[in-house]
Amino acid sequence: MMSIADIFTVIAVSAGAFFFMAGSVGLLRFPDTLTRLHALTKADNLGLGLVVLGLMARAGGLLAALKLASVWLLVLFTGAAVSQLIARAARDGDQNDD
Amino acid sequence: MTTDIIVDCILGALVLAIAYWVTIARESFAAAVGFVAYGLLLTLVWVRLGAIDVALMEGAIGSGLTGALLLRASSRLRAKEQSAAAEQSGVILRATVALVSMIGAAMLATAVLYLPDPAPTLAPEAAANASATGMANPVTNVLMAFRAMDTMLEKVVLLVALAGVWSLARDWLWGGRPGPRYRADPKAPLTLLAQMLPPLGIVVGIYMLWEGADAPGGAFQGGTIIAAMWLLAMIAGLTDAPPISNRSVRLALIAGPLLFLVVGFGGLWLGEAFLAYPVAYAKPLLLAIEFAMTLTVAVTLGLLIAGPAEREGAP
Amino acid sequence: MTEFLQFSSGFVFVMVALGMVRIVRGPTRADRMMAAQLLGTGGIAALLLRSDVTDRPAVIDVALVLALLAAFASAAFVVKGAREASGEPEASE
């Protein structure tokens, strides 16, 4: 018999995994570099965020939960900055190679 | 349980596949990106094997730093790629090399698969003697206490490698600053990243060093993270690479091995053996050495990736 | 619960590993870097899940290191790519 926390974890992690799948499918199937970047950021933000949310419900204590959240915040921030960098590279006449 | 086996098989197959692709990729930028992915996959492999300390190293050095190093090397070789292509060895030689490599790999695999069970190992004894240093992480104990000689010599090897990299500079540029001058664009996202990330990275690096006493981590992992943050600030143009003749740079480079040597000879002088730590002072001594080593590793790796001097340094 | 988390960890990993096709196919450099970034984030998620499954908090540290170094690697690659595209001369050798 699963507790509320367990049910929450299952739902959150499943949703997160779904967004990772969406990000991957988008990366493979979208027609253009910039649209693929859009898909990537969904996985970065929502995918990881939901997984972390689900895991925080199981964390043993406030400190552990904060550690998980800080990993997500770090990825959120660096992902945003890196997406901007990649977008600029794509816009500024990125070379097509083989 | 079966999920694990399936994922492991996929992971293993992917590692082989991407390794193969990296060697045959025609564009070196693509190969460098592939190499970073390969490092990421290997990090996951190490975690699956239970070797967290190695996983930390792989994630830090093996994928990020080495990828940047390869990229830098490949872009310098671009001009020479024409003449290098003309020198490519014939099919027979390449086939022979491939065959010999495969036989070597097969021999290694057989050796690993047919190890006596249980494999001969000193791990239980190393774990049992943790009280000698007061630290709970057996890897750190082995690196810093039981086999401290190896660790010290490793740092010396790093210094020699750095000297080798420096020797690639032109004669008149010796003592100058490595790398090109990166210009900072105040509105660019790279500048924001390089301003916000390094303080956090330094904290994480020191945290890794501290954790290494009782949990996976240690001086090398911490130093590598700090090196990556320094390099980030350099390529964003927020700080310039120091001239390699700079006194503080040189001091930081030798701090780790020097302290190691001093403690080592101290152990010899106080009557026990080279690198024998007096039991009462073991932990503080080790921590001091680890701090010095973190600094050395950070500066060494940063300068290794920055490369040989290319510009005149400040006199 | 543990089996579910174990399965999720493997699932997330396989999903982002599929994205590696982009590293091979490109066609632009940005595509390849994006695929590596996705692999990094997915790896972090898979590791966080595994840390719960195997009850080893140290694995969270691995995820943390990956987050930092992936950011560094992406920055380094973008800067290098941009310098080449704009034709800035490397110090000749």
What is the per-residue pLDDT across B13-38, written as a single tens digit (0 to 9) for each? Answer: 999 999 999 988 888 888 899 999 99
Question: B99 lies in a domain?
Answer: no
A43 to C41: CB separation less than 8 angstroms, yes or no: yes
Residue C80 or residue B236, greater confidence: B236
- Same domain, yes or no, for B183 and B271? yes
Burial of B118 (0-12, 13-18, 19+ CB in 10 A): exposed
Contact state of C75 with B208 under an 8 Å Cβ cutoff: no
Is C50 a domain residue? yes
- Whether C89 shows a pLDDT value over 70: the answer reads no
What average pLDDT does range B144-148 have in this prediction? 81
Q: How far is A35 from chain C (nearest CA, A)?
A: 11
What sign for the dihedral angle of Cα B243, B244, B249, B250?
negative
For residue A97, the distance in angstroms to the closest alpha carbon of chain B comes to 7
Give the confidence band of B184 by pLDDT, cuts at 50, 70, 90: confident
Residue C81 in this model has a pLDDT that exceeds 50: yes
B54 near C62, Cβ under 8 Å? Answer: no
User: Per the CB < 8 Å rule, is B196 touching A98?
Assistant: no
| CA distances, B49 to each of B36, B53, C54 (Å) | 20, 11, 12
Query: What is the mean pLDDT of the segment spanning B288-304?
Result: 91
* SS3 (DSSP) at C27: coil
Distance (Å, rounded) from C-alpha B33 to C-alpha B59? Answer: 14
SS3 assignment, position B177: strand
Is B29 in contact with C32 (Cβ distance < 8 A)? yes
Task: Judge if B75 and B154 occupy the same domain.
Answer: no
Q: Could you tell me if residue C23 is inside a domain?
A: yes
Among the ranges given (B238-247, B267-276, C12-21), the one the predictor scored with the smallest mean pLDDT: B267-276
Same domain? For B185 and B280 the reply is yes
Do B275 and B162 belong together in one domain?
yes
- Residue pair A51/C48 in contact by the 8 Å Cβ criterion: yes
Residue C93 has pLDDT above 60, yes or no: no
Q: B307 in contact with C at a CB cutoff of 8 Å? A: no
Residue B236: closest C-alpha in chain A: A85
Amino acid at B129: N
What's the rounded Cα separation, in Å, for the pair B57 and C84?
30
Rounded to two decimals, the pTM is 0.89
Contact C48, B39 (CB under 8 A): no
Q: Which two tokens stand for residue C93?
A: 């050798």
**B262 vs A: CB within 8 A:** no
* Interface chains of chain B (3 or more CB pairs under 8 Å): A, C
Task: Give per-residue burial for C48-79: e unless 16+ CB within 10 Å, then b.
Answer: bbbbbbbebbbbbbbbbbbbbbbbbbbbbbbb
The confidence band for B202, taking pLDDT boundaries of 50, 70 and 90, is very high
CA distances (Å), origin B228, targets A22, B184, B234, B249, B299: 31, 18, 10, 17, 10
Q: For residue B193, list chain A residues with Cβ-Cβ distance below 8 A.
A: 78, 81-82, 85
pLDDT more than 90, % of chain C = 37
Mean pLDDT of B259-280: 78
What is the domain count for chain B?
A: 2
Q: What pLDDT score does C90 carry?
A: 44
* Closest CA of chain A from C83, distance in Å: 10
Note whether A5 and A24 are within 8 A (CB).
no
Provide the domain limits for residue B183: 126-315
Interface of B with C in 55-74 (CB under 8 A): 55-56, 59-60, 63-65, 67-68, 71-72
The answer to whether residue B51 sits within a structural domain is yes
Looking at the fold, whether B308 and B179 belong to one and the same domain comes out as yes
Predicted confidence at residue B140, as pLDDT, reads: 83
The answer to whether residue B40 neighbours chain A at the CB level (below 8 Å) is no
| B145 and B8 within one domain | no
- Mean model confidence pLDDT for chain B: 85
B52 interfacial to chain C (CB closer than 8 Å): yes
Please check whether residue B186 touches A, CB under 8 A: no
Boundary-marking domain end, from B41, B72, B88: B88
Tell me which residues of chain A have a C-beta less than 8 Å from any C-beta of chain B.
Answer: 74, 77-78, 80-82, 84-85, 88, 97-98
Matching residue, tokens 């190695």: B54
Interface check for C38 against chain B (CB to CB < 8 A): the answer is no
Collapsing DSSP to helix, strand or coil, B309 comes out as strand
Cα C80 to Cα C93: distance, rounded to the nearest angstrom = 18
B205 lies in the same domain as B308:
yes
- pLDDT per residue, tens digit, chain A (98 aa), is 578 888 999 999 999 999 999 999 998 999 888 889 988 888 888 999 999 999 998 887 888 899 999 999 999 999 999 999 888 888 876 555 43
Q: How many CB pairs under 8 A join B and C?
A: 168
Mutate to test the interface with A, among B190, B232, B235, B238 (most CBs of A within 10 A): B190
pLDDT given for residue B78 in this prediction:
72
Please report whether residue B191 resides in a domain.
yes
Domain boundary among B36, B65, B88: B88
Q: C42 to each of A75, B237, B310, how far by Cα in Å?
A: 11, 30, 38
Give me the interface pTM, i.e. the ipTM.
0.90
Report which DSSP code applies to B311: E
Q: A53 to chain C nearest CA, in Å?
A: 11
The answer to the question of residue B244 being in a domain is yes
Q: Determine the residue of chain A that is closest to B197 in CA distance.
A: A78
Instruction: Please give the residue range of the domain that contains residue C64.
Output: 2-84
Does the beta carbon of C69 lie under 8 angstroms from any beta carbon of chain B? Answer: yes
In a domain, C57, yes or no: yes
How much is the pLDDT for B92?
A: 86
- Residue B15 has a pLDDT of 93
**Residue whose entry in the numeric block shows the structure tokens 């996985």:** A43
Residue B106 lies in a domain: no
Among A69-73, B146-150, C50-54, which stretch is predicted with the lowest mean pLDDT?
A: B146-150
> Does C26 map to a domain?
yes
Residue predicted with more confidence, B26 or B155: B155
Contact B190 A81 (CB under 8 A): yes
Give the Cβ contact number of residue B71 at 10 Å: 24
Interface test with B, best of C14, C55, C69, C86 (most B CBs within 10 A): C69
Find out whether C39 and C24 touch, Cβ atoms under 8 Å. Answer: no
Helices (H) and strands (E) counted in chain A, each on its own, are: 4, 0
Contact B257/B156 with Cβ under 8 angstroms?
yes
In the predicted structure, residue C21 carries a pLDDT above the cut 50: yes
Q: Chains that contact A by 3+ CB pairs under 8 Å?
A: B, C
Q: Which residue of C has its CA nearest to A58?
A: C52
- Per-residue pLDDT at B117 exceeds 80: no
Is the predicted pLDDT of residue B156 greater than 70, yes or no? yes
Mean pLDDT lowest among B11-15, B96-100, B209-213: B209-213
Residues of A in contact with B188 (CB under 8 A): 88
Count CB neighbours of A11 within 10 A. Answer: 13
State the nearest Cα–Cα gap between A33 and chain C, in angstroms.
Answer: 6
Number of domains in chain C: 1
How many cross-chain Cβ pairs, A to B, lie less than 8 Å apart?
23
- What average pLDDT score do residues C27-51 get? 91
Question: What pLDDT score does C91 carry?
Answer: 40
